[in-house]
Structure formats: structure tokens, C-alpha cells
Amino acid sequence: MKPIRVLVVDDSPLVRETLSQVLTSDPEIEIMATASDPFVAADRIQQEIPDVILLDVEMPRMDGITFLRKIMEQRPIPVVMCSSLTEEGAETTLRALEYGAVDIITKPRLGTQEFLRESRETLCEVVKAAGRARMRRVLPVEPALTADAVLARPGSHAMACTTDKVALIGASTGGTEALRIVLESMPADAPGLLIVQHMPEQFTAAFAQRLDQLCSITVKEAQNGDAVLRGRALLAPGNRHLLLKRNGARYYVEVRDGPRVCRHRPSVDVLFRSGARYAGRNAVGVLMTGMGNDGAQGLQELRQAGAETIAQDEATCVVFGMPQEAIKLGAARRVVPLPAIGGAILGACQ
């Protein structure tokens, strides 16, 4: 296979050099070029199209979000946003995923060799996943208004009752927009949902808040001991595993540290295994777009425990890695296109 050619766009020469060194340590990646800002990058793209663009968020002359939108409107190329912003800038960076970015990573802290060693594998895997991503032209879409524009919806307390059914969802590359589509299709009394999305820890709280604003159900970043309730989705915090637990008829979650599983924390396999153990046939497991094999073994364990198991189909995946591995294992009872996954979850929970 030919190496994945990367264009690094960042206003800091030291960051460009560091990222180039980290990426070229992987034989499957080569640096096509570097650019100090989007204008230099645009000139370089006219000469040669990269396989992946690693794009900073804040730059002089033109910010990364504006440049991303121009790329996606004119000539879609897989873009990974590289941000040093923390909680206060998470909303801006998450907007990049809506505009078509494949993934986001946190910028390596320069001069910290231990951090660079730990982040190398993650950075290289994200870039390789982006290189395999299916890109589609992103067109601006007017938001669909609901009755919320006129009258606030009732508080979620009306749904605060224990549910017998629980849906467990895992996703990685391309999963942020896929999750939005699935969760927006959920009615206010949907079964409780637990979600693992591979994402840096600075961004999961903001991602949950954004989904909460868009969806009829409540979406929040999970905290240890949170109850699994109808009309609520709990998102695994970045860098922490999320487990389903049960006390009698009551489901709740445990958020814990632990080793990386399938090179990830949180891991979909960990969530699915806990679902097989504590919910069994009352669970619905869904494995969506993403690179690698995290979740495949866990989905098989769910199926063996009697749960309904669903994998996203190849045509609607950004990266058909995780679902493909589950399908190969025979872990998925059903293979479903993205627009139909919400309905499949609801049907399985009836």
C-alpha cells in the first residue's frame, strides 16, 4: 500500500516540525508538505492533492474552521482538526465535525517526550483512519425547527423511571455526525442509551451538551452512579471507561479508569461486555462507523447473551472498520444503514 500523504497546516514552525516527526515515524505515513496558514496550504493543494490534511484551528489570516468549510464545499479532502484548545474552545472545534472534518485530536504538548510517545500511536491511527474515510460534499442545511422554537419542552423528570431495555452504542471515526442522526431520531420516551465515542477527553462534555440541544432526549456526559433512564443518553467521558451495572431492577453506570482496551479508553468492548453481563437479552448493541476492531468482540458477547445486535452498513460508514470486524465474527444479527438505525433500536426495544 502507498503511504498516506499528509499536509500539515499550522502557524507554528515548531508544531509543524514536531507533528511531521511523529507522523513520519510510522512507515505508512509520509509528509507531503507543510504550510504556515490556509493561503499557503491552498496553493500547495492546487499543485498536489494530499490524502489527509492535519489542520490547526486558530491561525492568522484565516482560521481553520473557515478553511475547512471552503475545502468541503469545493473539493472534499479528509481533514483532521488539531487543536490546543481545551474546554472553552471545544464548541468551536466540534463545529468542525459538522462541517465535514473526519476527526479531532489534541495538539501534542511540545517538549514533553513522554506525552509525545503516548500520543504518537493515537495521532498515527487517527491519520490512517482519515486516509481511508469516504468523503462526501457537505452542503449547508437549514436547521429543522420543532415546537421548542415556540414552547419549551417539559422537563425530563417526567421520564425518570427505570427502563428494562437499554441500548448500547459504540462509534469512532465519523461517529459524531452518525450519532447525531441516530439520537435526533429518538423520541422523548426512548429507552435509556449508553454511548462510547472515541474522542479526546476535553471534548466529550461539549459534545454531549451539543447533542442535548439538538435532540428530544436528554444527553449528558456520564458521571459515576448516573441512573439509566428513559429519555436519557449517557456519553462516556473521554479517557474513562463506561460500564453498565444493575442493582435489582435498576440500571446505573460506573465510570472508571483502567488500561486501554483495543488501544482505546473508553472502549466499546468494555461497555458491550458489561451490557452482556448485566442486561443480557434486555440489551440492544449497536456498532457504528470507525477504524479498528473495538466493539466487535463485545458485540459478539452481547449476541451470545441473547441481545439484539446491529452493525452499520458499509455504504453509510465513513470508515467501515469496526462494523466490518463484527460482521466477520458473526456478531451482528442485522446490518442496517445509518438512517434506519434509530428505528431498529426502537423496534428491538418494544
Render each residue's pLDDT in the chain as its tens digit; 350 residues: 789 999 999 998 988 998 898 899 999 999 999 999 999 999 999 999 999 999 998 888 898 989 999 999 888 999 999 877 544 567 777 788 888 899 988 876 655 565 566 678 888 989 999 998 876 554 444 444 443 433 344 444 334 444 579 999 999 999 999 999 999 999 999 999 999 999 988 889 999 999 999 999 999 999 999 999 999 999 999 999 999 999 888 999 999 998 889 989 999 999 999 999 999 999 999 999 999 999 999 999 999 999 999 999 999 999 999 999 999 999 999 999 999 999 999 999 98
Residue 158: its pLDDT value, please?
39
- Among the listed residues 103, 212, 294, 313, the single catalytic one is 294
Distance CA 243, CA 165 (A): 15
Q: How many domains does the chain have?
A: 2
Asked if residue 92 and residue 49 are part of one domain, the reply reads yes
Residue 294 designated active-site:
yes
Residue that has been written with the C-alpha cell 481511508 in this structure: 132
* Any domain includes 332: yes
Asked if residue 305 and residue 213 are part of one domain, the reply reads yes
* Any domain includes 265: yes
C-alpha cell, 116: 509525545
CA 25 to the chain's CA centroid: 25
Element housing 244 (H / E):
strand 241-247
Asked if residue 252 and residue 116 are part of one domain, the reply reads no
Q: Are strands 52-56 and 79-83 parallel, antiparallel or unpaired?
A: parallel
C-alpha cell, 305: 447473551
Q: How far is CA 144 from CA 60, 77, 141, 256, in A?
A: 34, 27, 9, 37
- Among the listed residues 51, 198, 264, 269, the single catalytic one is 198
Q: Contact at 8 Å (CB) between 234 and 228?
A: yes
Residue 37 designated active-site:
no
Residue 339 C-beta-side C-alpha neighbours within 13 Å: 1
Give the single-character DSSP code of 162.
B
- Among the listed residues 20, 172, 267, 274, the single catalytic one is 172
Element housing 328 (H / E):
helix 322-329
Residue 84 designated active-site:
no
Asked if residue 195 and residue 101 are part of one domain, the reply reads no
C-alpha cell, 137: 460534499
* Any domain includes 72: yes
Beta strands across the sheet bearing 218-221: 218-221, 232-235, 192-197, 166-171, 283-287, 308-312, 334-336
- The residue range of the domain holding 332 is 159-349
